[in-house]
Amino acid sequence: MQLGLPGCANRPSHPPQFEDFRRAFALGVETPEGVTRLLAVFEQGALTQAELSAILGSSDPVELVGAATQARVQDPLGLKLALRATALDPSRPIVWAALSYKTITLVGNGAGDRRQNLGLLSNALRRWESLEPSNSVPRYLEARYSLFLTNVPGAVESVAMANRMTQFDTYEEPIRTCVEKVFRARGYPRYSALLLASGHSSGSLHLTMAGKELLRAAPVTPVTPADLSILGRRVASGKTMLAELLGLSLQLQAMDRGASKPLEKERSVLVQRKTYIQQMAKFLTSPAVSGVSEERWVQFYEASSNKGEMSATEDLAREEGHPLN
């Protein structure tokens, strides 16, 4: 299947190949032409309705989780896929994490039956907590659930309780692996599967949104901003640069909200780190990497999964002679 683009002789294929992405990035992500081309390539990277429907009959929870994550927000197949994964293997926390993220996305976007989705979210969080009593993430997500119900005190309490827990596991990396596997099983090249899977950051996004909504909704007290700073630090510990940026952003907002005179030294450190990450993220789509081979990009994404995206990016920047400051 081909996607028609006015004025484009080289149209992205399904599934998209390395050259499709390379041509799109070569136009630049800050130009209208580049954005249009990238959107077209990512559109061609999406699983088709036929593919999603076929996966719904799978007995592999990994495939179901990966496909559920990739279904469009308004597509009811996404929820069906996530629910089937929980029915097939309810003993795995990852299936409840995936269902939690799916239902939060649906409620947040006003998609589907709100009451039903809130009920599914509440149940998913309870099941997740029962499997991992020390994992703070489902407890943090309870704050998002409480905010959907305009229960600000309940959200504040959930965050405070989560901060006292020792474990912080969003399952973002395992879910990215599920996404990669479902693409690979459908014939996607390794590079395309890894790149498309790398964009999954539902946990970090939902946790950060919960924190920012709570900052806007809760009365200013010494407790709430301090608690949300802890959440921000935990989000920032994720392996992707996006997770770190989201966590830093939440920390900065909590810091500004919690003190009449924010500690300038601490704030400056966070701002400098945020700026550095943004610069390194721009490097990944700059002309400096236009000559990087498909094989090297595969190595980059594998390294991002193993030791973190920032470390992998710094390694690549050194190879390409790009300054790190």
Block mean pLDDT (10 aa), the chain, length 325: 41 86 84 85 92 97 96 95 98 98 97 97 98 98 96 94 96 96 96 94 95 85 82 96 97 81 82 96 91 97 96 96 82
Angle between helix 93-108 and helix 114-131 axes, rounded to 10 deg:
150
Identify the pLDDT of residue 200.
Answer: 86
pLDDT the model gives residue 72: 93
pTM: 0.91
Long-range contacts of 73-79 (CB under 8 A, 24+ apart): 73/105, 73/106, 73/109, 73/111, 74/111, 75/49, 76/112, 77/49, 77/52, 77/53, 78/52, 78/102, 79/103, 79/106, 79/112, 79/117, 79/120
Q: Given this model, what pLDDT does residue 6 score?
A: 39
Residue in this structure with the two tokens 């966070």, named with its chain if needed: 270
The answer for residues whose C-beta is within 8 angstroms of residue 30's C-beta and 6 or more apart is none
Query: Cβ-count burial of 172 within 10 angstroms (0-12 exposed, 13-18 middle, 19+ buried)?
Result: buried
Residue type for position 83: L
User: Which stretches within the chain are classed as H helix?
Assistant: 18-26, 32-45, 49-55, 61-70, 76-88, 93-108, 114-131, 136-148, 152-163, 172-185, 190-198, 202-217, 223-236, 241-258, 264-283, 294-307, 309-319
Q: What are phi and psi of 311, to 5 degrees?
A: -60, -40
- Classify residue 47 by burial, with Cβ atoms within 10 Å: 0-12, 13-18, 19+: buried
Question: Would you say 58 and 32 are in contact if contact means Cβ atoms under 8 Å apart?
Answer: no
Number of residues that this document lists for the chain? 325
Please tell me the distance from the alpha carbon of residue 76 to that of residue 193, in angstroms, as a whole number: 23
Spatial CB neighbours of 156, under 8 Å, sequence gap ≥ 6: 143, 214, 218, 223, 224, 227
9 by DSSP, 3-state: which? coil
Distance CA 246, CA 236 (A): 7
- 134: CB partners within 8 A, 6+ apart: 165, 166, 167
Q: What is the pLDDT of residue 157?
A: 94
Report the C-alpha gap between 182 and 155 in whole angstroms.
Answer: 35
Q: Which pLDDT score is estimated for 11?
A: 65
Residue 87 neighbours by CB under 8 Å, 6+ apart: none
Q: What is the pLDDT of residue 170?
A: 97
Helix 190-198 and helix 32-45, axial crossing angle in degrees, nearest 10: 110
Task: Please tell me the predicted confidence (pLDDT) of residue 3.
Answer: 36
Q: Residue 30: what pLDDT?
A: 77
